[in-house]
Copies of this chain bind each other. A is one copy, B any other.
Amino acid sequence: MSMNLQTQRLWKFFRTAMWCGAGVAAVLGTTPVRAQALQDVQTASAPLVLKAQGSFYIGGEKVEQTQGELGNLGPGGHITVNQMYVRYMVPQNDRSPPVVMIHGATLTGKTWETTPDGRMGWDEYFVRKGHPVYVPDQVGRGRSGFNQAIFNNARAGSTPPANQPEFLRFSDEAVWPNFRFGTKAGAPFPDTQFPIAAVDELAKQAVPDLNRGLPTPTPTIKALSELATQLKGTVLMSHSQSGSFPLAAALLNPAVTKAMVLVEPGACPANYTDDQIKALSTVPLLVVFGDHRTNPTGMPSLPTWQQRFEGCQALIGRLKAAGGQAQMLDPAERGIRGNTHMIMQDKNSLQIADFILQWLDEHAGKPSARSK
């Protein structure tokens, strides 16, 4: 980061502490380890003033299916598949570039909303800082849905069940080491920033992930590029499995991608051509990783988080060599320890958000001709 950020750190800590304080004061009757309920959800101290909020879909294609493929509820015919749901909030004081927040594997846009322990999500926090925020559900999950025909066909015996794609879920036991809450389930790192008492609320955020049943590349990427075009320029922020999506979407149309923020990306691709690097170097890149990256993940078939971190350092190096603005945000390097894979839900989530917001101020610029 810059000198500017260094000098502002103190008052940012103060601002974060104020937010947290306001939140804690608003909690009514919480106890540390019970399941989240409505009364655990904290109310901000100041109202949220929106110019607009709502939702819409991007993309999608019409397909024709039989009565059986549709589950025998009614006659066969046409349905729409592979469309992407997007929910948005535009602040009244809309003066900054929009930010599109894309969730990771087995999760939905809920990732960015109210945290498991009831604090303000990044969706609202970025809006309060002046950014319109757009939160999609990836195609294949949540309100974006998926193409169910192959499952109904297998049920009817007209296609082998082995043709069905797997629905993916992480067990709690897999989440703890892989998301670096601790060495294993129930054994948090002493310095963990994740709100461990609310870890079962994160478990509720998980839904079956049909990523393996989608066309390649996932239609989400084209939909993100289309959304960036409709926004006449946006920041694309990804997480985990969607890590490289902003890069892929930017390659479709670099001009409408104002910046890319990769939060704990599952991968920074190593195989870009020099031409692709040249195109990507026109878009500022920030990569954010939490702590405890050498923790064994318990997922032997996948890279460690330190390997992913190093892959992203290599990409940053290539982009900088091509003249790009690319950098790593590693809070641990600044003495902020214990951040996890779910850094947007960590106890210091707003502190991390402030780093990103300042980087956006410095690198994403002001859009010249946005309609919203």
Contact = CB atoms under 8 A, between A and B. Distances in A.
Interface of A: 28, 36-41, 43-44, 47-58, 60, 62, 65, 70-80, 83, 85, 87, 89-90, 92, 105-106, 108-110, 113-114, 118, 120-121, 124, 137, 142-146, 148, 151-152, 154-155, 157, 161-162, 164, 166-174, 178, 185, 200-201, 203-209, 212, 227, 230-231, 298-299, 371-372
Given A43-B51, A73-B299, A142-B142, 10 more contacts: A38-B227, A41-B52, A43-B90, A54-B114, A56-B114, A62-B200, A74-B174, A77-B172, A78-B172, A152-B166
Given A52-B44, A206-B145, A230-B38, A77 B171 contact: yes
A233 B372 CA distance: 37
Contacts of A58: 37
A38 to B, nearest CB: 4
Given A110-B85, A142-B142, A143-B108, A371 B39 contact: yes
Nearest to A107: B143
A173 B79 CA distance: 9
Copies of this chain held together in the complex: 2
A37 B88 CA distance: 13
Given A155-B162, A298-B75, A204 B169 contact: no
B143 A56 contact: no
Contact of A36 (B56, B124, B172): B56
Given A43-B51, A172-B77, A83 B204 contact: yes
A171 B227 contact: no
A308 B87 CA distance: 34
A59 B166 CA distance: 26
Nearest to A205: B57
A105 B73 CA distance: 11
Given A50-B50, A57-B201, A299-B74, A164 B154 contact: yes
A174 B204 contact: no
Contacts of A49: 47-50
B172 A208 contact: no
22 contacts: A28-B371, A36-B56, A41-B54, A41-B56, A43-B51, A43-B52, A44-B52, A48-B50, A54-B121, A54-B124, A56-B118, A60-B204, A70-B170, A72-B166, A73-B169, A74-B298, A74-B299, A77-B174, A80-B206, A110-B143, A154-B161, A154-B164
